[in-house]
Structures are given as structure tokens and as C-alpha cells.
A = this chain, B = another copy of it.
């Protein structure tokens, strides 16, 4: 050991990307097995560290949960908002971007398991649920409601209770995400093509919202 041997290269420890690695590992395990059934030893192992290390970055299992949501989801909202303004003059196009964008940016990724996770655990972790409601659901709703209202103002959509309709319109997307993270995994379903599902759904919605009896896009 005349000089520092090159153990360091293969080891490559002590990064500051550690929290992200941990939240990423936690996300996939939480989504896969649920919060309660996920052991912190597993999370740490998947991130390539020990459980003690996990506690250097997060105070508790619940704090890790909150971080998973915060790091994983909140950035997506802003990204989605930016994509939307690109078509601000065409409500039908905006709605399409919203729904399909939600799916490709969120639902189809690993984050698509988060609605299942949040729904399951909302009652057990009210603070996380409130955070999610405030930072994710409500902004998302507001965004879609703006799209709908604009469509009505332009005479493209018929008037509706847009607060209710935002909920209703999100449901099939959420359902698809939940399905893929529950029954689709454990039962061998005769599979459901997301793209066909989305197209069929969007078609239904457009006809359901259309303003004029024989209106056309």
C-alpha cells in the first residue's frame, strides 16, 4: 500500500444521488407489494445499500413514502402544464393532449402505480393523502377544468358541470392504471391494449361532450 490502491473505482460509493436511488427503489416496491407489505430492508437492498443507510436520509418509513410522492410526481405536473399550452387555441386538441399525455407521461410509467398506492393508503396516512390531494389532484383537476371551460366558451363543448366532469373523465385513465397494477399482473388477463382503450375512450368522450347535435371535428 505505497499509495492508495484502486479499490475506489469499483466501489464508487458516497454519492449524493443516494436519496433518488432510494425513492426509486421504494416506489417500485410500494407499487408492487403495497406500503405495508414492503420491508425497508428490501428497499435498501434494491438501492444497493443497507437499511441503516436508508435512515441517514429518511426519518421513517412514512417520510420515505412522502418523499416518493414528492420527488416522483410533483415535477410531472409542471411538465404536463407546459405541454398543454402548446395547443391553447384548440380545446379538442388540448383535451386529447391532456388525456393521452397523462397516460404516456404518467400512467404508462412506473408512476402509474401511485394512484393504487395512494388510494390504498390514504386513510392510514392522512398527511400524505392531503399532500397528494393538494399538490397533484387539485392542480390536475384545475388544469382539465380550464380546458373544458375553454371548450364551452368557444362553443365546441356543450355546457356541463365541469367540476364533476373532470372527475368523471379522469376515471377511465385511473382505472386503466389501477387495472394494470392489480388484476392484470396476477391473473393472466386476455389483455387490454392501452392504445385501443384510449382511442375508444376519447371517441366516446368527444361525442359525449360535443356541442351541436351533428357537430363535427
Q: Chain A: residues with CB nearer than 8 A to chain B?
A: 32-34, 36-37, 116, 118-124, 126, 129-130, 133, 137, 160-161, 164-165, 167-168, 170-172, 174-176, 178-179, 181-183, 185-187, 189, 192, 196-197, 200-201, 204-210, 213-214
Contacts and interface: CB of A to CB of B under 8 A. Distances in A.
Contact of A123 (B160, B165, B172, B186): B186
Contact of A197 (B37, B167, B174, B197): B167
Contacts of A32: 123
A1 B118 CA distance: 60
Contacts of A192: 164, 167
11 contacts: A34-B36, A36-B36, A122-B182, A123-B186, A133-B187, A164-B197, A165-B200, A168-B175, A171-B172, A171-B176, A207-B208
